[in-house]
Structure 1
């Protein structure tokens, strides 16, 4: 990367930090400052475009940019399923979960669990949510951000320096500015990221010879979303059909880092439409992150890119940037990739501060002032950032995108189970929820450690039974659901007036909401999103 490109990257980073700090300072002065609701939830003022872009930006980190391009290079369109299927879980968020969150006026999702179940359930979820934010959202993002920085700059920068630089810049405006700074910068960075990704996709597409060139040089299976059990990638269609809903509902409907943007919505309409807007944007990664990886494979086969440059496949996207883009545009693309990691890290840091302040500190000290809540939230974010830096330095996954989804598999099942039953089943009890969260999380941690340290008998068992990471999640979910059903039947929930309002009487009740008139009605947009996803699957199955 030349000096012009480096200048562009540096200017962009400084601009993002400045915009984040300015937006939060402006908001603080206008509102008088100091209010915890302003810091953590932007005062409930977020409108649907900002919610949708912020959801997308928090989700799409360098884990996705780097991981999906690498997956495209190695296995074709397969991992694009995780992006497309997100549209269906965002439909669930918009139609079934978000309305209850907005109506209950909760600040955090553990807060929702307390209102629906009990305080012990809130405590367990708060702890699990903080841990997952540190290790899943921030840790992997910092690692892949450092990988991208090294690949694009073209200099072997020590991993520690790259990680610390990204963490420091992101932490500055996030910890100082709260959710207002996070969402404003996320919206800006979504535009930058999408623009940069579209440019590299178009250039890679043309250089590879268009669809005909890609088809001629890529294996036939690379161009199919749906795979059979004997596919070398090891992720057949039934694993996706059964396993993705388990991790998808956790991620998009119950994870504080993601859903916090919806909790800050101006009203129920903005919450619903914002989630659906994110669902439409989530169709794009298949074409702007996965497809460039396949194009890169084709270019290597054609000899346009030297094969030795892809000795480490996690550098797929960085190689495309270095090989295909002119001076100046490389800098813009580098800025776009750094935008991705900063968005996810900032979102996770803000959610950690919210969880610690509201679900841990205020839980034990209800009289805590807003100023103290904000202060504790900032310090919590700072400590979490330090822990995530340490964790990111231990990572060296063979397949980045699959690795993060495999880790989610061990976290998601008990939480997905408890929220699904809590929202749709009146009998689901507080005792059952606590037992499910506790036992399910302990088993999830145990299975993760068995996988992390490659314990022989466990890996041999999975290989012999052809159980991939998604099916492990399905089995854990079935176990958790068994606990939830059995304990709830033995000891049904004793509802309060508040908890009664947090369960749908029928699955169709949330669809009775009138919504906005015309094409912006959530029902029309839901139908349009389903149709769009159906078209993509029909064309690329």
Structure 2
């Protein structure tokens, strides 16, 4: 381990924590709203950076670089195409949440269907976070840090043992951020890390290209653009990790779910001071997603020109950083990776606690006619976060036994929970008389159908196409039930208006530019662009 890299890592990590503490030390958390929603006070910059960096974990660096190295840039579709979903959510969904003064996305399900549906979906979210989202964030962060510092070699222990140790280090620090600082501290960390991440990405690109070009970065660019160009293609075929056709089937559904229903993401937008700040923040996050090829994919492209056959492809990103960066930059990027893991783990933990306390614990106590104080809610939320983080830390190292490409494994796991929930949310948004029983049947059918097609039966159809089929079938079942057994009283949206709901007046042309840039990226990285052979 290089001493300079280690010192840089410690200094940058300490600096991020110190800035977060200085900015939040006067922000005393006295209510559940302060812990979970930062008292609905976030500016558009805070919303945008928080949305982006909650979405960006070490999994993005590890998974994207690996996928590009073993396949091509088709993995880019996940991040770049999400801009369309984010624009739709900003325009049509966030106003509904803010108008109803909702703290969690399942609150909509209670208003639209009934409290039983809300509790069921909240429980599914919690299961998803504890056995899927939190462990994946911890595992990917551990893989990246071990690759950067080669800790398994230094400690003379097995690769698996080093992953266990690093998972627990990340988990403990991330838990402290969430438990002690709440959403406010997480948002401040995101803002600081944003500056560091883009700086680190530009420096890594420079040194990586310089390495490929034998000391000349311009020559490095020429080398990348003139050889092994098949890796520069973002238009995936049926044989690639992400076929281009999936963008228009399951991927768009997953992205709409993620940016419009996933509690850990939407919670950042719900904490905004008004609708305008929320919509501006989402646009800022869109700009970040469009820079994804520079941040997450270029290291994989550089690796293609550096290594012929890596035995452990999950360490592609770490190997590139270690081999091309001076020690200071290696330590700097390691600190960014560590911070990215923390700022994905902490919001997920905070959101899990939000769902448990507000949607399960508090209603249960009120049903028993128990008086629930704000102090009691804060205590119980912190205890739950401790339990959830410990469970995730035990599960995370087991991901090492996954047989899939890491990024594909992550997306498949997410889809098991996302599409069933998204489907009943979608039907709830577009109809007014579909009854609660339809939501419960639809949820069960879609979840069971996905498990059957992915675990027990090999359909030969890409899992993203399966998602669209299940979405259509589930929606049809729910609509049929609604036609046969409609609600007597049609659903009517609430209007509590706890924040200013005036929309951002410049959103249409800004969103139009974002969508245009999204399309241009696919054209540039295609066989009619720079991937032309």
* TM, length-normalised to structure 1: 0.88
Partner of residue 301, structure 2: 294
Q: 1:221 aligns with which of 230, 234, 245?
A: 230
* Greater Cα offset, 484-493 or 433-442: 433-442
1:233-265 per-residue CA deviation (whole Å, 9 max, x = no partner) reads: 253222232110121111111000111001101
- Unmatched runs of 5 consecutive residues or more in structure 2: 156-161, 213-218, 496-500, 527-533
Residue 478 of structure 2 is aligned to residue 484 of structure 1: yes
Q: Does the CA contact (< 8 Å) of 1:17 and 1:169 recur in 2?
A: no
Does the residue aligned with 2:425 lie in a helix, a strand or coil?
A: helix
**Offset at 1:132?**
1.5
Q: 1:207 aligns with which of 202, 211, 214?
A: 211
Q: Does the CA contact (< 8 Å) of 2:241 and 2:408 recur in 1?
A: no
Partner of residue 34, structure 2: 38
Does the residue aligned with 1:300 lie in a helix, a strand or coil?
A: coil
Cα distance, 1:483–1:47 mapped onto 2, change above 3 Å = same
Cα distance, 1:82–1:259 mapped onto 2, change above 3 Å = same
Where does 1:106-121 land on structure 2 (aligned, <5 Å)? Answer: 106-121=102-117
Partner of residue 531, structure 2: none
**Offset at 1:67?**
0.5
Where does 1:155-234 land on structure 2 (aligned, <5 Å)? Answer: 155-156=151-152, 158-208=162-212, 209-218=219-228, 220-229=229-238, 231=239, 233-234=240-241
**Offset at 1:267?**
0.6
Does the residue aligned with 2:327 lie in a helix, a strand or coil?
A: coil
**Offset at 1:202?**
2.7
Q: 2:447 aligns with which of 422, 431, 441?
A: 441
Residue 96 of structure 2 is aligned to residue 100 of structure 1: yes
**Offset at 1:445?**
4.8
Cα distance, 1:361–1:441 mapped onto 2, change above 3 Å = same
Where does 1:122-521 land on structure 2 (aligned, <5 Å)? Answer: 122-156=118-152, 158-208=162-212, 209-218=219-228, 220-229=229-238, 231=239, 233-300=240-307, 307=309, 310-366=310-366, 367-396=371-400, 397=402, 398-445=404-451, 450=455, 458=457, 461-462=458-459, 465=460, 467-495=461-489, 499-501=491-493, 515-517=503-505, 521=506
1:13-67 per-residue CA deviation (whole Å, 9 max, x = no partner) reads: 3333444444443111xxxx41111111000001111111111101110111110
Partner of residue 60, structure 1: 56
**Offset at 1:115?**
1.3
Distance 2:426 2:444 in 1: 17
**Offset at 1:206?**
3.6
Does the residue aligned with 1:27 lie in a helix, a strand or coil?
A: coil
Distance 2:241 2:21 in 1: 45
Does the residue aligned with 1:493 lie in a helix, a strand or coil?
A: coil
Distance 2:93 2:447 in 1: 22
Cα distance, 1:446–1:184 mapped onto 2, change above 3 Å = farther
Q: Does the CA contact (< 8 Å) of 2:275 and 2:504 recur in 1?
A: no
Partner of residue 75, structure 1: 71
- Unmatched runs of 5 consecutive residues or more in structure 1: 302-306, 504-512
Distance 1:46 1:234 in 2: 38
**Offset at 1:323?**
0.7
Q: Does the CA contact (< 8 Å) of 1:413 and 1:480 recur in 2?
A: no
Distance 2:250 2:88 in 1: 16
Distance 2:256 2:406 in 1: 21
Distance 1:276 1:425 in 2: 28
Q: CA RMSD for the aligned pairs?
A: 2.0
Partner of residue 527, structure 1: 512
Kindly tell me the number of residue pairs found equivalent between the two proteins. Answer: 501
